[in-house]
Amino acid sequence: MNGTATRVPTHEPEIDFWFDFGSNYSYLSVMRIEAEAAARGVRIHWRPFLLGPVFRDLGFDNSPFVLQKEKGAYVWKDMERQCRKYGIALKRPTTFPRAALLAMRVALLGAQREWIAAYCRKIMQLNFAHDRDIGSMEVMSEALDELGLPAGEIIAEAQSDANKLRLREQTAAAAARGIFGAPTFFVGDEMFWGNDRLDDALDYCASVAASG
């Protein structure tokens, strides 16, 4: 023994992951975050929210990637590069951003359940790798069935008035926290925006826990 104490984290490090299924950069993070967080011993809090109302509150009636032609052209080239980098499939959606209200309601319902990560990856792949209409009841039912989940039961609960209200409240909470895009990560009050900040957010999260 050299007399130097080993610092042990006093609590499990946690990160809040705010995302929208219509967000292309959220796609990259959804596909990466579970493995990256596990490697650092970080627990994920999944925070689905609706980016559209946030954009409208900021004065945009659509995604900036649609409103600004040059930015949009760059973003899809960037997505091609990033997907090659991470080994993630990409097929540019014929509709962008694609409405996914039902899918988001299901995500909110499942946020504390064991199937949330697999579900989110499935929905993102349907949108950004297979160009499927994730806003449709048919595609949603098919996705849940393929995950071995009770589609009818989950969709009925997701469509309840209480769950619809919760999603509106969660979206308002995102705006109140200063979120202006997706994906966004919080470690306590420290905010990180964009897929390219996922690793920084997770490293920060782990370091804060280790120093606590």
Q: Domains of the chain (ranges plus CATH)?
A: 14-211 (3.40.30.10)
Q: Is 23 a catalytic residue?
A: yes
If one counts every other C-beta atom within 10 angstroms of the C-beta of residue 131, the result is: 15
Is 10 within 8 Å of 173 (Cβ atoms)?
no
Strand (E) positions, 78-131? none
Torsion of CA 16, 20, 24, 28, to 10 degrees: 30
Per-residue pLDDT tens over the stretch 168-182: 999 999 999 999 999
pLDDT of 9 > 70? The answer is no
The pLDDT-based confidence of 211 (bands split at 50, 70, 90) is confident
pLDDT in tens, 36-88: 999 999 999 999 999 999 999 988 877 777 778 898 899 999 999 999 999 99
Mean pLDDT, the chain, rounded, equals 93
Considering only CA atoms, which of 47, 73, 51, 78 is closest in space to residue 63?
Answer: 51
Q: Which of 23, 26, 29, 63 is catalytic?
A: 23
Q: With a cut of 50, say whether residue 5 has pLDDT above it.
A: no
Closest CA to 27 of 90, 106, 81: 90
Sign of CA dihedral 23, 147, 126, 96: negative
Measured distance CA(44)–CA(86) in Å, rounded: 20
Q: What's the pLDDT tens digit per position in 137-146?
A: 999 999 999 9
> What pLDDT does residue 47 have?
98
Say what the pTM is.
0.91
Segment 125-149 mean pLDDT: 97
Q: Count CB atoms within 10 A of the CB of residue 166.
A: 15
Model pLDDT for residues 101-115, shown as the tens digit of each residue: 999 999 999 999 999
Q: How far apart are the first and last CA of the chain?
A: 23
d(CA 177, CA 162): 22
Q: How far apart are CA 55 and CA 191, in angstroms?
A: 18
Q: Which residues contact 173 (CB under 8 A, 6 or more apart)?
A: 49
> In degrees rounded to 5, what are phi and psi of residue 160?
-65, 155
The residue assigned the tokens 């627990």 is: 43
Total length of the chain:
212
Q: Which two tokens stand for residue 10?
A: 């006093």
